Amino acid sequence: MRRYDVAISFAGEDRKVAEALASSLRSERMKVFYDKYAQAELWGKDLYAHLSKVYKDDAEYCLMLLSTHYAKKQWTNHERKAAQTRAFQENREYILALKLDDTQIDGVLPTTGYMDYRTTPFDEIIDAVVEKLRQLRQPSEAAVSDDDGPDYWHDDTADLKKWIGNLEAQYKEAKTEANYAQANGDRLAGVYHTANKKASALKAEIDHVTEIMKRVDAGFPYFESYGFEAAVDAYGEVAVWEDFLTIAGKLSAGQPADPTIRIPIETQTAYVSAVNSRLFDDFKLCMCFEQPDDPFHAEVIGPIDYFLFGTINAIHTEKQR
């Protein structure tokens, strides 16, 4: 794993574009080398040697902002040569060329695939970089952990509060970026659209996690359904989900969907308690069956465990507790 996902190479005159890109890529949880983010690290170093290493060895991709200014600067030529050395060594594309004008850059062939900042919506550029990284890592990273979110199970709000803290920090950064772009008018309209969209999504997620915390504080543990299913599968069992009221209604009417199903008293008691709390929008019953050795000829003997899940209708409807 390299230190950075993307290293941005640009001329000082194009800093506003570089900064907008760096900020948006960071909001996508990408590790970005952008000189302002590394001021303390760069202080006192031999920049010739250090930047050569960054652009040749330390990043998965080099995002190169091509312009008249880029072609004229000694430092950008140094960064370009380091990146081109890496590109020559790699058996894949490494330099992601983003044209700010039509200047031809030495060493960058006219046939090289590029994106044009003048004609491509800003959010499409960001999405393309994110997709590049996803495709690169997909074969070797089947599962990616999310350090900003909670684990599958929580019966207290400590980690949920940390989750909200991370979301609020990202929200503040997105709002700051959106306000800056809005103040600069049409020239940064794409940046404003992307940052504002990101801020709205983060605000909705903050509200959702706040709702989760209310339920955990009331004594209802938080569990994500897909994490629960993974745990059930690890035990060699089969999980079947049904609407609680559908199953309970058929049973009370003497018309069970499956004659092996008998909802335990403790599960029914938990349901009454949850309904009285008025904290949930719906209820799901998860029934766990033993995995038969021969699924085609096995006799169904009924669930071995029942689990009641209350749900809320919010930004992530798959998240249940």
Q: What are the distances in angstroms from CA 63 to CA 10, 93, 105?
A: 9, 11, 14
What pLDDT score was predicted for residue 235? 62
Contact 11, 73 (CB under 8 A): yes
Q: Where are the domains of the chain?
A: 4-137, 153-217, 224-311
Pairing state of beta strands 59-66 and 4-9? parallel
pLDDT exceeds cutoff 90 at 219: no
pLDDT band of 3, cuts 50, 70, 90: confident
What pLDDT score was predicted for residue 317? 36
What pLDDT score was predicted for residue 22? 93
What pLDDT score was predicted for residue 68? 95
What pLDDT score was predicted for residue 223? 79
* Residues 131-179: tens digit of each pLDDT: 998 888 764 443 334 445 556 677 778 888 888 888 888 898 888 888 8
CB count in 10 Å sphere of residue 41? 12
Kindly state which CATH superfamily the domain 4-137 is placed in: Toll/interleukin-1 receptor homology (TIR) domain (3.40.50.10140)
pLDDT exceeds cutoff 50 at 321: no
Average of per-residue pLDDT across 266-286: 85
Rounded Cα gap, residues 193 and 181, in angstroms: 9
User: Which of 122-131, 254-263, 298-307 has the least mean pLDDT?
Assistant: 254-263
